[in-house]
Amino acid sequence: MDEKSRKPEDTPFKQQKLKAWQPILTPNWVIGTFAVVGLIFIPIGIVLHTESDNVVEYSIQYDGEGVTESSNIVDIGDGCYLSDEDEGDTFDVDTHGCRITFKIEKEMKAPVYLYYQLDNFYQNHRRYVQSRSDAQLRGDATASTSDCSPLTTTGTGISKYNSTEETAIGGNDTDYTLMPCGLIANSLFNDIFWVNKLVADGTTYYQNDTYEGKTLVNLVDQTGIAWKSDVETKFKNIDLADLSDADNTMLLWQNPRYRYIIPMYEGQEPIANKTAWTTAAPAYGVQDEHFIVWMRTAGLPSFRKLYGRIDTDLAEGTELEFLVSSNFVVSTFEGKKSIVISTTSWFGGRNPFLGIAYIIVGALCMVLAILFFAKHKLSPRKLGDTRYLLTRHFHFKMLASRYELLEKIGNGAFGEVHRAKDLVSGEIRAIKRLRVNDDGHLAVVPAAQFQEIETMRQLQHPNLMDVVPDGSYIALVLEYMPTDLLSHNILHRDIKPGNLLLSADGVLKLSDFGLATVFVGQEGQNDLDQIFRVIQVLGDIEKQWPGVRELPDFNKVSFPSYEPMPLNKLFPDAKASAVDLLSKLLVLDPSKRLSARKALVHDFFFEGPVRSRFSFQAYMKQRKAEDLHEAED
């Protein structure tokens, strides 16, 4: 099987070569970013806070933990406070009711929304949220009730009624199947609110009086309070003809806790101060909008749900009185009940936190921008200099104005090395031009090159003369050294951090030549001939190393297609282990070449090293003699 059969296509996406962008956080960019964010956030925060302040909102708690006596609340009977569960679900305003008065101190423009608010009620509890049957709510009579666990039946002791009828239609000895089932559907908020009295411009209006073209008791419109998508697609009453066991089923309007909230049929007339609807019911069962609003669970334990809206302006000085029938018990979970009226703005209800948050974040960004600006001006960081961000508009003249490039003396993966003349001092320098990554818009210095510059800067080496931006390069100006160990046919063979020494003045010195090897020189007549000789031995380089085409200057030279020469024929006297090790070390493809770790455990090193046939001392004597001979000439 072809070993490359599973190789992905050679496309930028599949080879992970897509162009990427990463911001370089220089001081100017950081300062500018913080300043821009601050300048944007502060005005937005001011606008949001102003709009929030323009929302007129009044809230009065009438039941639950911490409720206090108030001139705005007048009790009827035992009042709206329900001390235990036995006092709930009476639907008798004369027993558990109250009158709540809102004094409008600032004009409220229509629409004015009426909410009920619950505190410490965790509708977001996982078990509570999951206890529902969406299929059943959509009108499927055969839907499974398993999702409604733990509440699918009523248990015994509960009678069922037909909406507001006084006579039970089923005994309390039957365990009725709830429809709809589940914790959410069967914990419906069932307090009832009516507009009882309104005082405007010195005139008092009562429930049956006409105000702004409406009977006062109908001032609150209870339609259009649920999401349109919920009303149209998620809630539909089950056809009673589809019920297989209607006698043992308790529908929503048959439940004694909800029969005064949910009508039995569309158009059912209200009973004054008894039912939740004040006009003929526009919908019934699970399609009632109060029920639909409740079924959309809240994410926090303190929440508001829309009860209705008033489509009439409420002028300053108006008094609006609600009659409340208290049925929903909150004392069992230390909760609270409140009634709220509020206007809205273009971004919703009153929410001072959002505007304050924007202002605080914006102010913090501005403070940070000022601090970073002061730090940058008083104590700038060299590597944060924008000179290291090079665009295409930098020209070679920045380098040419000081140095004259004489010849290229080296080339590598990160750039080129040139011999150059300092036009000011006349001295010869070595200029290392580090290649910069260029995405077509912004040239960015790689981290490795920054590391090289920073390391040499910290050493404060006197031979690092300058750092110059140069088009798509950064040029390091160094001391020019005309020769190196390799040109003297010396391999050090033990270069490691411990052998790179620093003097007290920061001068770098190379030590420990104990493992150095001296060789007689290259076999080729020149560098190019030497490369050809290497290829003749190792074989066709492109067949063995596909990535060689990406190397600098590869296309400048073409090589014949040679077959690899067997190393055991080149070194007939060498041990088999030595030939094997050499063949693995001379693999052209670096990804397939034997690593140093694996080479150290090769069999060759356990058979004993081969002594070098060269004498280093003899070689040095020969070199000194040659140097003296050249000096005499």
- Identify the residue with better confidence: 190 or 553: 190
- Identify the residue with better confidence: 277 or 23: 277
Write the DSSP symbol of residue 348. B
Cα distance between residue 230 and residue 69, in whole Å: 39
Q: At residue 75, does pLDDT exceed 80?
A: yes
The DSSP secondary structure of 185-239, one letter per residue, reads GGG----EEEEEEEEETTEEEETTSEETTEEGGG-EE-SS-S-HHIIIII--PPP
**Residue matched to tokens 């806790």:** 257
For the domain made up of 517-632, give the CATH fold.
Transferase(Phosphotransferase); domain 1 (1.10.510)
Cα distance between residue 470 and residue 24, in whole Å: 19
Cα distance between residue 580 and residue 602, in whole Å: 9
Cα distance between residue 570 and residue 567, in whole Å: 5
For the domain made up of 386-482, give the CATH fold.
Phosphorylase Kinase; domain 1 (3.30.200)
Q: What is the pLDDT of residue 394?
A: 37
Residues facing 153 on adjacent strands: 177
Mean pLDDT for all residues in the chain: 84
Domain boundaries, the chain: 24-55+346-377, 56-343, 386-482, 517-632
pLDDT tens digits, 465-484: 455 554 556 777 777 777 77
Q: At residue 631, does pLDDT exceed 80?
A: no
Cα distance between residue 116 and residue 48, in whole Å: 25
Query: Please, are residues 552 and 412 in contact by the beta-carbon 8 Å criterion?
Result: yes
Q: At residue 608, does pLDDT exceed 70?
A: no
Q: Provide the token pair at 169.
A: 């239609």
pLDDT tens digits, 225-265: 999 999 999 999 999 888 888 889 999 999 999 999 999 99
Residues near 626 by Cβ (< 8 Å), separated by ≥ 6? Answer: none
Q: What is the pLDDT of residue 397?
A: 47
Q: What is the pLDDT of residue 541?
A: 79
Residues facing 221 on adjacent strands: 309
Q: What is the pLDDT of residue 68?
A: 86
Stretch 191-198: mean pLDDT: 96
The DSSP secondary structure of 442-457, one letter per residue, reads -EE--HHHHHHHHHHH
Question: Which stretch of 58-62, 263-267, 394-398, 618-622 has the lowest confidence by average pLDDT?
Answer: 394-398
- Burial letters for 148-180: b for 16+ Cβ neighbours within 10 Å, e otherwise? beebbbbeeebbbbbbbeeeeebeeebebbbbb
Burial class (CB in 10 A: 0-12, 13-18, 19+), 103: middle
Cα distance between residue 392 and residue 302, in whole Å: 58
Percent of the chain surpassing pLDDT 90: 49
C-alpha to C-alpha distances, 175 to 133, 256, 455, nearest whole angstrom: 19, 14, 83
Q: What is the pLDDT of residue 392?
A: 35
Strand duo 96-103 + 214-215: pairing? unpaired
Q: What is the pLDDT of residue 170?
A: 85
Strand duo 192-200 + 203-206: pairing? antiparallel
C-alpha to C-alpha distances, 474 to 29, 295, 297, 404, 546, nearest whole angstrom: 21, 66, 61, 16, 30
Peptide bond into 590 cis (omega under 30): no
Cα distance between residue 234 and residue 220, in whole Å: 25
Question: Which stretch of 272-276, 338-342, 384-388 has the lowest confidence by average pLDDT?
Answer: 384-388
Residues facing 444 on adjacent strands: 389, 437
In 3D, which of 349, 368, 188, 186 has the Cα closest to residue 261? 188
3-state SS, residue 408: strand
**Residue matched to tokens 């162009």:** 19
pLDDT tens digits, 145-178: 999 999 999 998 899 999 999 899 988 899 999 9
H or E element at residue 342: strand 336-342
Cα distance between residue 452 and residue 566, in whole Å: 41
pLDDT tens digits, 266-312: 999 999 889 999 999 999 999 999 999 999 999 999 999 999 999 99
Q: At residue 463, does pLDDT exceed 70?
A: no
**Residue matched to tokens 């101060």:** 273
Q: What is the pLDDT of residue 503?
A: 74
Question: Which stretch of 296-305, 414-423, 535-544, 608-617 has the lowest confidence by average pLDDT?
Answer: 608-617
Q: What is the pLDDT of residue 388?
A: 46
Confidence of residue 615 (pLDDT cuts 50, 70, 90): low
C-alpha to C-alpha distances, 276 to 98, 164, 193, 194, 195, nearest whole angstrom: 15, 11, 7, 8, 12
Question: Which stretch of 109-113, 149-153, 269-273, 600-604 has the lowest confidence by average pLDDT?
Answer: 600-604
pTM (predicted TM-score)? 0.61
- Identify the residue with better confidence: 45 or 612: 45
Residues near 185 by Cβ (< 8 Å), separated by ≥ 6? Answer: 132, 137, 178, 252, 286, 291, 295
Q: What is the pLDDT of residue 507?
A: 72
Q: Does 432 carry a binding-site annotation?
A: yes
CATH topology agreement for domains 386-482 and 517-632: no
- Identify the residue with better confidence: 41 or 385: 41
Q: Provide the token pair at 522.
A: 């290259």
Stretch 116-142: mean pLDDT: 96
Question: Which stretch of 25-29, 140-144, 204-208, 369-373 has the lowest confidence by average pLDDT?
Answer: 25-29
Residues near 126 by Cβ (< 8 Å), separated by ≥ 6? Answer: none
Cα distance between residue 93 and residue 116, in whole Å: 17
Cα distance between residue 335 and residue 328, in whole Å: 11
